[in-house]
Amino acid sequence: MGFSAVVGGTRHIFADLRQLLACATPFRSGDALAGLAAESAAQRVAAQRALADLPLRHFLQEAVVPYEADEVTRLILDSHDAAAFAPVAHLTVGGFRDWLLAADPAAVTALAPGLTPEMVAALSKICRLQDLVAIGAKCRVVTRFRNTLGLPGTLSIRLQPNDPVDDPKGIAAQVLDGLLLGAGDAVIGVNPATDNVENLCRVLGLLDAVRDRYAIPTQSCVLAHVTTTLLAMQRGAPVDLVFQSIGGTQGVNESFGVSLALLAEAHEAALSLKRGTLGDNCMYFETGQGSALSAEAHHGVDQQTLEARAYAVARRFRPLLVNSVVGFIGPEYLFDGKQITRAGLEDHMCGKLLGLPMGVDVCYTNHAEADQDDMDALLTLLGVAGVTYVMGVPGADDTMLAYQSTSFHDGLFVRAALGKSPAPEFAAWLQRMGLAGRTPDRLPMAVAGLL
Amino acid sequence: MSAPTLWRDLRRFTAARVALGRVGNGLPTAAHLDFQEAHAQARDAVWSTLDVPALQAALGAQVVASAAPDRRTYLLRPDLGRRLAEGASFTPRPGCFAIVVADGLCATGVQAQAPALVASLTTGLQRAGWDVAPPVIATQARVAIGDAIGQALGAAMVAVLIGERPGLSALDSMGIYLTHAPRPGRTDAERNCISNIRPGGLSLAEAVAKLLWLVAAARGLGATGVALKDEQPALPLIEDQPGGR
């Protein structure tokens, strides 16, 4: 089935839904790399007009990746909740945008199980940044493990104490630095330098000991491959959250060495440990536009639509945390600060509409055309959009992954600028430790044995 | 060393930017400008180039280029960086171990470390009974260029030594990607990676030991990637990493 719209006296024709979505996407280098980007500004706006007129129901009939060939497509269509979809089932994509901008948060939040990734991706393509912010801010997603994340008026921080060789003291010093600067309520999460089960068990033990020693109401995670974490659980390691990078097609997930069945196995294993005290959201996923093209598993679909499809994988497992690592993948997918900014806000809104506790790693690499000014702008916009959490890295410099994310100071800034607090249990802990609103020169905790 | 009692004492334990101070909720001016300086140097490092004649003299290697004609194209078109330029030819050496030295996203670390690492690795591989092919230097190259080179050589495995994206604290980092039965189309899940090889990170000796362990395990398993778990006993840690800045 084809689509068309007239712009400037020319009728632009789009062969199928994939091409319509791709041509309607605001320009980014990854779609150009894939040969999917609109050929002109006029063709792009024609696609946006045609897309705005498309009934939302159409997305239940035409899959962008074939149902027979892809387990993510099957998950999306087989788990669609028609009752939740009912309030917007009569709308077009354009009508849906208008409805969302006028709706109250409860009505928007209730839609989540009735929305598919392709519907929200289509919506995002006809949104300006302010629409992405306004709609994202209406979604309420609350998750719990040892604290409560996502409450209105809160903004949480993942404390990311990565060390180039997983040195325990190097990690511990960064954890303490983050705690002194109010970070760590989303998770204390280490990206391991080497995906080795012995090493994983050692770092998990360290993080759990720190949390236990200072009675911090938070959770820890070592972001190893899911199969390594399964091995660690078999060895009795203290696994709070199971982490995995995921994507929006079966093929990209295969390139990550995972499947829905493997994720389900890991989810069951983590649930059986019953380590959460306030709730049982025990999965942590990372995503990012461009991963499917990078794995040559994109099926001719634009990178933002595929990113939204990754959220369908995530929500199947009721995660505690999901974040797009928006600027990490590099300039071939998101070239500069402008493209990173838009993608970060798209990812946040799409994830939230689908019911995910969406954070964003506001970040860039040194081969992208971006700098700290771009990060300040995106961080502030995401704060206004109600982002669930952002990263906290000492001085914004991750010495292991060699990229720049948001710093502990950035977390303090955005909370203060927007009147946000940490998760309530963590805020109370900061208060008890004398760390609310200040960082003393003298450490407020004993560190003998740790450092 | 006594246990720290002050915030600034944390600097003794990590090269990360800890204990930077706090002015209101922001960074003190000196820390802010330190960051800006490091970012400026990293930006320049991305555009650094491999001194091919010097490396070739040290390695006695064949030199090939990727299909990316220049740095900007390389940054925007990773597909070209994974392919060989037209006209590259190799003398087949069935069953050999291939070593590729690639510039990647920053040439500095490869330039400095590759000669010693290749020498040590070659000795270790030969001791384990491998026929090691002469190394190949690849410019404007991504990791997967090793698949094309490995296939052309008929190699049983390929190790790609490649410059890692420069960070603010490390402009000289190298990674090694090991791929069993290399051929174009291999995915990243079919490789094993050792990263952060640099002074202050993983040492050359540790990297070579780890790689030789992976090579032996991959030969036994007949595969690299997620099927091959790095279960090598953890190496003894170096006490008191050089911290502070």
What pLDDT score does A115 carry?
A: 98
Residue B125 has φ and ψ, to the nearest 5°, of: -70, -40
CA–CA gap between residue A408 and residue A397 (Å, rounded):
11
The domain that holds B160 is classified in CATH as 3.40.50.11240
Reduced to 3 states (helix: H, G, I; strand: E, B; else coil), residue A79 is: coil
Q: What is the residue type of B45?
A: A
Q: State the total domains in chain A.
A: 2
* Alpha-helical runs (H) found in A53-194: 71-78, 82-85, 93-102, 105-110, 117-125, 129-138, 168-180
pLDDT digits (tens, 9 = 90+) for A183-214: 999 999 999 988 889 999 999 999 999 999 99
Instruction: Find the mean pLDDT for residues A248-267.
Output: 96
A438 in a structural domain: no
Is pLDDT at A406 greater than 80 in this prediction?
A: yes
A134 in a structural domain: no
Which residue on chain A is closest to B165 by alpha carbon? A402
A439 in a structural domain: no
CA–CA gap between residue A25 and residue A37 (Å, rounded):
7
Closest-CA distance of chain A to residue B60, Å: 30
Residues contacting residue A187 through CB under 8 Å, at least 6 positions apart: A158, A159, A218, A219, A220, A221, A240, A241, A284, A320, A321
A114 in a structural domain: yes
The structure tokens 């109010």 sit at A182
Q: Which of B206, B210, B228 is nearest to B219 (CA)?
A: B228
My answer on whether A163 and A77 are in the same domain is no
Answer yes or no: do A397 and B173 touch at CB < 8 A: no
pLDDT digits (tens, 9 = 90+) for B143-164: 999 999 999 999 999 999 999 9
B161 in a structural domain: yes
Last residue of a domain, one of A103, A128, A153: A128
What pLDDT score does B46 carry?
A: 86
Instruction: Find the mean pLDDT for residues A339-344.
Output: 98
Residues contacting residue A93 through CB under 8 Å, at least 6 positions apart: A51, A52, A53, A54, A56, A119, A122, A123, A126
Is pLDDT at B239 greater than 90 in this prediction?
A: no
pLDDT digits (tens, 9 = 90+) for B46-81: 888 899 999 999 998 899 999 999 998 999 998 899
Is pLDDT at B235 greater than 50 in this prediction?
A: no
Which of A31, A171, A194, A373 to probe the B interface (max B CBs under 10 A)?
A194
A158 marked as part of a ligand binding site: yes
Closest-CA distance of chain A to residue B214, Å: 12
Is pLDDT at B236 greater than 60 in this prediction?
A: no
Confidence of residue B244 (pLDDT cuts 50, 70, 90): very low
Which residue on chain A is closest to B195 by alpha carbon? A193
B156 in a structural domain: yes
Mean pLDDT in chain A? 97
Is pLDDT at B45 greater than 90 in this prediction?
A: no
What pLDDT score does B230 carry?
A: 65
Mind giving me the DSSP string for B129-185? T--BPPPEEEES--TTHHHHHHHHHT-SEEEEEEEPPP-SS-SS-EEEEEEES--TT
Last residue of a domain, one of A88, A104, A128: A128
My answer on whether A356 and A400 are in the same domain is yes
My answer on whether A204 and A253 are in the same domain is yes
CA–CA gap between residue A361 and residue A190 (Å, rounded):
14
Q: What percent of chain A has pLDDT over 90?
A: 95
Answer yes or no: do A365 and B76 touch at CB < 8 A: no
Answer yes or no: do A365 and B195 touch at CB < 8 A: no
Confidence of residue A1 (pLDDT cuts 50, 70, 90): low
| H helix or E strand, kind and range, residue B195 | strand B191-197
Q: State the total domains in chain B.
A: 1
What pLDDT score does B110 carry?
A: 94
A99 in a structural domain: yes
Distance of CA A68 to CAs A64, A74, A75, A295, Å? 12, 8, 11, 20
Mean pLDDT in chain B? 90
Mind giving me the DSSP string for B222-242? T--STTS---PPPPPPPSS--
What pLDDT score does B196 carry?
A: 86
The residue segments making up the domain with residue A320 are 143-432
My answer on whether A82 and A212 are in the same domain is no
A102 reaches B (C-beta below 8 A): no
CB < 8 Å from B in window 158-177 of A: 161, 163-165, 167-170, 172-174, 176-177
A162 in a structural domain: yes
A147 reaches B (C-beta below 8 A): no
The residue segments making up the domain with residue B86 are 52-221
The domain that holds A413 is classified in CATH as 3.20.20.70
My answer on whether A92 and A150 are in the same domain is no
A444 reaches B (C-beta below 8 A): no
Confidence of residue B1 (pLDDT cuts 50, 70, 90): low
Instruction: Find the mean pLDDT for residues A51-64.
Output: 98
Is pLDDT at B142 greater than 50 in this prediction?
A: yes
My answer on whether A70 and A195 are in the same domain is no
My answer on whether A150 and A215 are in the same domain is yes
What pLDDT score does B243 carry?
A: 32
Distance of CA B42 to the CA centre of its chain: 17
Which residue on chain A is closest to B190 by alpha carbon? A255
A451 in a structural domain: no
CA–CA gap between residue B18 and residue A29 (Å, rounded):
35
Answer yes or no: do B6 and A441 touch at CB < 8 A: yes
Strand pairing report for B136-139 and B157-163: unpaired
B232 in a structural domain: no
What pLDDT score does A184 carry?
A: 98
B164 in a structural domain: yes
What pLDDT score does B228 carry?
A: 85
Q: Which residues on A lie below 8 Å from B187 (Cβ)?
A: 254-255, 295
Which of B8, B36, B43, B165 to probe the A interface (max A CBs under 10 A)?
B165
My answer on whether A83 and A41 are in the same domain is yes
CA–CA gap between residue B152 and residue B91 (Å, rounded):
8
My answer on whether A114 and A246 are in the same domain is no
Distance of CA A199 to CAs A234, A281, B154, Å? 15, 25, 35
Name which of B6, B42, B196 is nearest A193 (Cβ-Cβ).
B196
Name which of A227, A255, A397 is nearest B187 (Cβ-Cβ).
A255
What pLDDT score does A38 carry?
A: 98
A448 in a structural domain: no
The total of other beta-carbon atoms located within 10 Å of residue A264's CB is 12
A118 marked as part of a ligand binding site: no
My answer on whether A344 and A259 are in the same domain is yes
My answer on whether A321 and A247 are in the same domain is yes
CA–CA gap between residue B39 and residue B169 (Å, rounded):
9
pLDDT digits (tens, 9 = 90+) for A282-334: 999 999 999 998 888 999 999 999 999 999 999 999 999 999 999 998 999 99
B96 marked as part of a ligand binding site: no
Answer yes or no: do B202 and A256 touch at CB < 8 A: no
What pLDDT score does B232 carry?
A: 64
Is pLDDT at A360 greater than 70 in this prediction?
A: yes
Q: Is A78 exposed, middle or buried (0-12, 13-18, 19+ CB in 10 A)?
A: exposed
The domain that holds A90 is classified in CATH as 1.10.220.70
CA–CA gap between residue B142 and residue B146 (Å, rounded):
8
Instruction: Find the mean pLDDT for residues B25-35.
Output: 97
A294 marked as part of a ligand binding site: yes
My answer on whether A121 and A178 are in the same domain is no
Name which of A33, A198, A412 is nearest B234 (Cβ-Cβ).
A198
Q: Which residues on B lie below 8 Å from A164 (Cβ)?
A: 15, 170, 196, 198, 200-202
